[in-house]
Chains A and B, each alone.
Chain A
């Protein structure tokens, strides 16, 4: 027989005026290769059908199952119970709007973020659907891909002390997004254009280097290196602007 695991789960339904935020415990026997994704589905099926949580791909790809697992933001589908103690506390991600129980609305947050950083290729070239795709060096393509692996789970944002203290902070995911377009040769935006997006305390200069983002990102995005790179890059732009003025 497997371990008996005790799950303390945050419960609250903001839609229901009767509901108040509280913790509720569920006990479940551990099975082989059990993930929190399996746990939550079993609790919902066997014990409480009203439990709210998000999932979709169950393979660490869609980014919808982010939650705070024993204090650390992480993906439920990526977290095996055998790596956890017998008592497990699950909370919804902070910063994002709560939908109910463990479900938060990361979608609206990221939508707004992408509007702010204008997360698309800016180019004046006319698109010709018949022309062959423009070529790109392998190395460039790979470095863009590396920064494009972010699944928008929101863990880095929820872990960031700065993001919690100032709601206008773009977070590591947002700053990284700008870095992704900055190295894309197809994007015609200039250094100054990027500076206007992240060259301020809402962006890279707001980051205090707490590196919780780096430590929790389930995709192990190179956030520390990316933040350092952009701080230097934007720092130099700031000096150029200051002295040119």
Chain B
């Protein structure tokens, strides 16, 4: 343990930032959750009809929201990474410790954290590639998405990996925020877990259906 930092001297009255950073981490996570849900529903609108999806995409582009919002989301994404990375062990020693701990305890929530940190790193790379690919090639049109996927099934595979990872990470994140901040207490923990499982299932379902809608679209 460290030297106590607790003497109540005026000069030590700290305005340390840990608490503010914790808020920022949580809020960046919440921001990304809201964005991802909106994103899922917007792209998923292709399931209703490609026309609706094109209409929505057109609205965001002609109003400039895609051009401005896209990079902002990218910043949020990077910001969230920087904030959350404070908790990820980047040294082998730390990684081994948390893995050993999870294995020893066979404790679900500890494993969930390992899953969260691992999916995070993959999402960081794949998400960045995805954002670059889409935002550097506006406008977003259903047919073009379909064409990209069908011309190169590598992209289909890419998204089939990325989408579930994002929703798993998102679901665990939601669970974690709720228990960490005490929004859900001891009594509600089981129910919360069930809700998050269902949420992940439904979200992955919608995403995969969307991808296959593009895959089978006639171009």
The residues of A with any CB-CB pair to B shorter than 8 Å are: 68, 71-72, 91, 94, 109, 112-113, 115-118, 159, 161, 164-165, 167-168, 170, 189, 192-193, 195-197, 199-202, 205-212, 214-215, 222, 224-225, 227-229, 231-232, 234-235, 237-239, 241-242, 245
19 A–B contacts, CB within 8 A, in A order: A91-B104, A94-B104, A112-B1, A116-B6, A164-B101, A165-B89, A197-B6, A200-B18, A201-B86, A205-B18, A212-B105, A215-B107, A215-B109, A228-B181, A228-B182, A229-B182, A231-B182, A232-B182, A242-B20
Q: Which of B2, B6, B107, B185 contacts A196 (CB 8 A)?
A: B6
Q: Which of A165, A212, A237 contacts B94 (CB 8 A)?
A: A165
Expressed in whole angstroms, the minimum distance between the Cβ of A123 and any Cβ of chain B is 13
Task: Decide if B216 is an interface residue (CB 8 Å cutoff).
Answer: no
Q: Which of A168, A200, A209 contacts B1 (CB 8 A)?
A: A168
Bound CA span A234–B182, Å = 12
In the complex the two chains form, is A165's CB within 8 Å of B97's CB?
A: yes
The 8 closest A-B pairs by CB, nearest first: A228-B182, A238-B19, A209-B180, A200-B18, A205-B22, A168-B2, A116-B4, A205-B18
In the complex the two chains form, is A231's CB within 8 Å of B15's CB?
A: no
* Known contacts A71-B105, A165-B98, A208-B87; is-contact A193 B8 (Cβ 8 Å): yes
In the complex the two chains form, is A196's CB within 8 Å of B113's CB?
A: no
Inter-chain contacts of B182 with A (CB < 8 A): 224-225, 227-229, 231-232
Inter-chain contacts of A245 with B (CB < 8 A): 15
Besides the known contacts A165-B94, A210-B109, A224-B189, 6 further A-B residue pairs in the complex with CB atoms under 8 A apart: A164-B101, A209-B180, A225-B182, A232-B182, A237-B19, A238-B22
Chain A contact residues: over half helix, strand or loop, or mixed? helix
Inter-chain contacts of A235 with B (CB < 8 A): 19, 22-23, 181
Q: Which single residue of chain A is at the shortest CB-CB distance from B177?
A: A209
In the complex the two chains form, is A212's CB within 8 Å of B18's CB?
A: no
Expressed in whole angstroms, the minimum distance between the Cβ of B34 and any Cβ of chain A is 20
In the complex the two chains form, is A208's CB within 8 Å of B20's CB?
A: no
Expressed in whole angstroms, the minimum distance between the Cβ of A237 and any Cβ of chain B is 7
Inter-chain contacts of A239 with B (CB < 8 A): 19-20, 23
Bound CA span A189–B6, Å = 12
Inter-chain contacts of B23 with A (CB < 8 A): 235, 238-239
Q: Which B76-101 residues sit within 8 Å CB-CB of chain A?
A: 86-87, 89, 94, 97-98, 101
Residue-wise, chain B 1-27 has the 8 Å CB interface mask toward A (1 for contact) of 110111010001111111111110000
Q: Which single residue of chain B is at the shortest CB-CB distance from A236?
A: B19
Inter-chain contacts of A238 with B (CB < 8 A): 18-20, 22-23
Task: Decide if B52 is an interface residue (CB 8 Å cutoff).
Answer: no
* Known contacts A165-B89, A199-B19, A202-B2; is-contact A212 B180 (Cβ 8 Å): no
Q: Which single residue of chain B is at the shortest CB-CB distance from A162?
A: B87
Bound CA span A118–B8, Å = 11
In the complex the two chains form, is A200's CB within 8 Å of B19's CB?
A: yes
Task: Decide if B106 is an interface residue (CB 8 Å cutoff).
Answer: yes
Inter-chain contacts of A116 with B (CB < 8 A): 1-2, 4, 6
Task: Decide if B176 is an interface residue (CB 8 Å cutoff).
Answer: yes
Bound CA span A195–B182, Å = 18
